[in-house]
Structure 1
Amino acid sequence: MDQLDREILRLLQSDNRLSSAEIGQVVGLSVSAASERVRRLNGAGIIRGNHACLDPGRVGLPLCAFIFVDLAPHPDEEGFRQQLMARAEIQEIQQIAGPHCYLLKARVAGTQALQQLLADHIKSHADVLRTETVIVMETVKDTPAMALPADGALEPAGQSDPLRAKA
């Protein structure tokens, strides 16, 4: 991945509806060259999808909660994960280091919906020992955009550049 790819990714993170012509104009490429780079970024899995970013309050899901989950020793983690992944209310599932096993991010209509999610779909799993829930009072920043490393930055250990391998 070179500097042009990073610039294209920065543009797409701010507006994924940009046309290849608009991208090419900003980064100094022809329409076909910009289109090919975006296609390669998609094909390499660097761009994982194109999604609409919804306003949670306007779609009836104003309550955001973070749920710490502690599991029993030697749990059926795959079953636990599958049960959580099936729930649309759970936006993120992070396996974490520290005093807890998992951190979940959930979006629901209100406290009753949160209580039902906890009781029926999280605490009901046989391997869940304990949960701790934190309700968000105000979201100050919420963005899927990432700060991309500068050109020439080292790749994470054990990983190669997927675009360079295809060149």
Structure 2
Amino acid sequence: MDEIDRKIADILQTDGRAASVDIASAVGVSTSTANERVRRLVANGTITEWRGVLDPEKVGAALCVFVFLDLAYDGEAEACRALMAFPEVQELHHISGQHSYLMKVRVADTNALQRFLQSSVKPLPAVQRTETLVSLDALKETTVVKISPDARES
């Protein structure tokens, strides 16, 4: 991944709808070269998705919570597959420290959270304990990744 690829990737992760001609102009290459580089970034797995980002409040998912999960080893893989399948779960991280996993969840309100935990999470056989933290305000929430100058093409 050279400097031009890094610039193109940075542009696209902040504006996935950027026009090829605008990308080309911003990085100093022809439009066809910019298009080819974007195709290569997709083909090599650097760009993994194209999607719209929604305002959670406008789509009924205003409450953001983080749930620490302690899972038993027996049934852990099955529990993780089940958790990843729930649309309310935005992120699931295997973490170090006192808990096994950290899960980011978005639901409408505390009633919806209680229903989700009681009916979907806690019944999973491997779930031994949960601890829920409610986000009062998201000061920064992004999917933008800082691109290292040492980034290599895979």
TM over 0.5: yes
2:147 aligned with 1:161, yes or no?
A: no
Letter of the 1:131 counterpart: T
Unpaired segments ≥5 residues, structure 1: 163-167
Name 2:96's counterpart in structure 1: 97
TM-score of the aligned structures, taking structure 1 as reference length: 0.89
1:24 aligns with 2:16: no
1:124 is displaced (CA, Å) by 0.7
Matched, 1:13 2:3: no
Alignment of 1:32-43 (within 5 A): 32-43=32-43
Provide, for residues 26-82 of structure 1, a one-character-per-residue CA deviation record: whole Å limited to 9, x for no partner: 10111110000000000111101011111101111100000000012x322221111
Report what 1:107 is aligned to. Answer: 106
Residue 128 of structure 1 corresponds to 127
Q: Secondary structure at the match of 1:137?
A: coil
Secondary structure, counterpart of 1:91 in structure 2: strand
* Aligned partner of residue 83 in structure 1, secondary structure: helix
Distance 1:53 1:20 in 2: 21
How far does residue 3 in structure 1 lie from its aligned partner after superposition? 0.5
Please, what TM-score do these two structures have when normalized by structure 2?
A: 0.96
Amino acid in the other structure paired with 1:28? G
C-alpha distance after superposition, 1:104-132 (max 9, x if no partner): 00000011110111111111111111000
Q: Which residues of structure 2 form unaligned runs of 5+? A: none
| Residue identity in the other structure for 1:45 | G
Runs of 4+ in structure 1 displaced over 6 angstroms?
Answer: none
In the aligned structure 1, how far is the partner of 2:25 from the partner of 2:16? Answer: 15
% same residue = 42
For the pair 1:142 / 2:141, whether they are aligned, the reply is yes
Letter in 1 for 2:124: H
Separation in structure 2 between the aligned mates of residue 13 and residue 85 of structure 1, nearest angstrom: 24
